[in-house]
Amino acid sequence: MTNEVRIACWNIEHNGRGRSGGEDHRDLARDILASIEPHIVLRQELTGAWDRGKADLYAEANRLGGLVPFMPAPREGRSKNPVGVMVDPSLFLIDGYFEHDLPWKPICNPRVRLKGCSKSLDLASAHLCHYDPDLRATEARRLTTLADHGRSALVGMDANSYPHQTALESVALPDWDTVEDRIHFQHRTIERAGRRVSDTRPDEILSGGNPVFTDLGLHAGTILGQPGALTATASLKRNDQGPSQRIDRMYCTPDLAPALLAFDVLATDEVREVSDHALLVAHFDLDVLRQVLTPAR
């Protein structure tokens, strides 16, 4: 068995189906993920994957070696792009499954356990609301509950908002005076001290002072000396919303952070062909994870 646990997080634009009759990239997306051989996949934009008995969901999970897939049903009158999680049953047992039903998109939250370990690990895939900063803050606060009562958790998301420790980032926040898309300005800014500024609240809630979670990209970039972990993730295609930003992020409870070996932000030509978001891959040391998830009696 490998000594590394690979966890992928990817917003595959419109689930690879192509918008308005565009080219279908579902097979290419699955091939890209399969080449990583992930043990956990945290997915956003599973557009249409609930249809036909969740055929697309199972097709992706099967292509990835028979992972166990989870996703919430799309809710009437809400987003048609649900999130999902897929888990390797050769490495993990499933202890439970929860859906956090928030006003725009539910959070998908399986609870798993490394085989041979006694402590469960909560996994979550989230896609924070694209149009409402206040709702994004609520969604982030809901995610903090996964770490309550000393639980271990790992979260991947399209945060639709920005990192708050800006001095440590490789990309500056948008200059909103130069952003052409004014709707985007309304969606991505908040008011502070009488000024409209970039929305960093979700990241502040999750990994700010006395942090609930560790930002894996920031940890890899600053503690592990991997500056590529701080590469911008989206948009890989549009240029009317300012420069690309690190809006796709992964977090873990601090107990898991010492197990992180590497954090990759993949924006290859093939990734760009499939999606406007980079593919994130976190590499964890399996032996260290086992130590963390088998507490001393």
Query: pLDDT tens digits for the chain (297 residues)?
Result: 469 999 999 999 999 997 766 789 999 999 999 999 999 999 999 999 999 999 999 999 999 999 999 999 999 999 999 999 999 999 999 999 999 999 999 999 999 999 999 999 999 999 999 999 999 999 999 999 999 999 999 999 999 999 999 999 999 999 999 999 999 999 999 999 999 999 999 999 999 999 999 999 999 999 999 999 999 999 999 888 989 999 999 999 999 999 999 999 999 999 999 999 999 999 999 999 999 999 866
**CATH number of the domain encompassing residue 76:** 3.60.10.10
User: 297 lies in a domain?
Assistant: no
Q: How far is CA 80 from CA 16, 42, 56, 203, 248, in A?
A: 14, 17, 14, 25, 19
User: 66 lies in a domain?
Assistant: yes
Interior/surface letters 197-223, b for 16+ CB within 10 angstroms, e for the rest: ebbbbbbbbbbeeebbbbbbbbbbbee
pTM above 0.85, yes or no: yes
d(CA 49, CA 47): 6
Q: What is the DSSP string of 174-242?
A: P-TTS-S-HHHHHHHEEEETTEEEE--HHHHHHHSSS-SSEEHHHHHHHTS--GGGG---B-SS--BTB
Residue range of the domain that includes 22: 4-292
Q: Are strands 4-11 and 40-44 parallel, antiparallel or unpaired?
A: parallel
User: 215 lies in a domain?
Assistant: yes
Backbone angles phi, psi at 69, to 5 degrees: -100, 150
Structurally, the chain folds into a number of domains equal to 1
